[in-house]
Amino acid sequence: MTHPVPNGAFITFEGGEGAGKSTQLRAVAPRLVALGYDVIATREPGGSPGAEALRDLLLFGEHDLSARAEIMAHFAARCDHVDRVIRPAMGEGKIVLCDRFFDSTMAYQGYGRGNGDPALLALIRSLRDLVGLTPDLTILFEVGLETGRKRIAARAAVSDAALPVAGTVDRYESADMAFHTRVAHGFDEIAREESDRFARISSEAADIAAVTDQVVSRIETFLKGR
């Protein structure tokens, strides 16, 4: 028996490269299902057929976009994702767990690529307002840059033939350490500004199950407190 959540719930998983957010989402979703919740797991960029096509362009395309065009492409994918997947699921009382959302655009494009350019940050904020959907809860997975770098390197070492998705490094993962430092600073700034929405969890330790326990506990507390 499932427990519908009135108006649904939208929970995002955020963090830099190698923070383990995707691993945790895959672990947390079945745990919540076992607790009786109706859960869907999705991701960005992507999550709907049209958004997945834009994901390929953004992460693996042969041509770089200008900073503004890249931001707009992320939000175009996001609008389709929200309209076709997230809002309908929430309307059915489901919990939507999403691997990245607009906080990643702010951290990666606004701070990482844009180096905190006020004009780019303002553009992202205006597009965020147009989307009209803010996560109810955001789990921010925090990991040291060196640990994250090692995890990315280990993933990249996996044979593409054996594991084509996990073994493929995208354009953001392959960026230099200065970029990732700016991204980490961006996430920190965002979480400070909207601390009521964020739950910051260290994923530095190798004990994945222990981190999962923390995340499930935090989500349960949030759902029971609504």
Asked, as a colleague might, if the bond just before 118 is cis with ω within 30 of 0, I would say no
Determine whether the annotation assigns residue 195 to a binding site. Answer: no
For the segment 16-22, the average pLDDT, to the nearest whole number, is 88
Which range marks the domain in which residue 98 is found? Answer: 9-224
Residue 1 within any structural domain of the chain: no
Instruction: Specify the pTM.
Output: 0.91
CATH code assigned at 46: 3.40.50.300
Residue 4 within any structural domain of the chain: no
Determine whether the annotation assigns residue 20 to a binding site. Answer: yes
pLDDT for residue 147? 78
For the segment 21-32, the average pLDDT, to the nearest whole number, is 95
Residue 3 within any structural domain of the chain: no
Cα torsion 178, 116, 139, 207 to 10°: value is: 10
Determine whether the annotation assigns residue 21 to a binding site. Answer: yes
Residue 1 has pLDDT above 60, yes or no: no
Determine whether the annotation assigns residue 186 to a binding site. Answer: no
The 10s digit of each residue's pLDDT in 35-92 is 999 999 999 999 999 999 999 999 988 888 999 999 999 999 999 999 999 999 999 9
Residue with the larger pLDDT of the pair 197 and 61:
197
Determine whether the annotation assigns residue 110 to a binding site. Answer: no
Residue 27 within any structural domain of the chain: yes
Instruction: Count structural domains, the chain.
Output: 1
Residues paired with residue 201 on neighbouring β-strands, in sequence order: 141
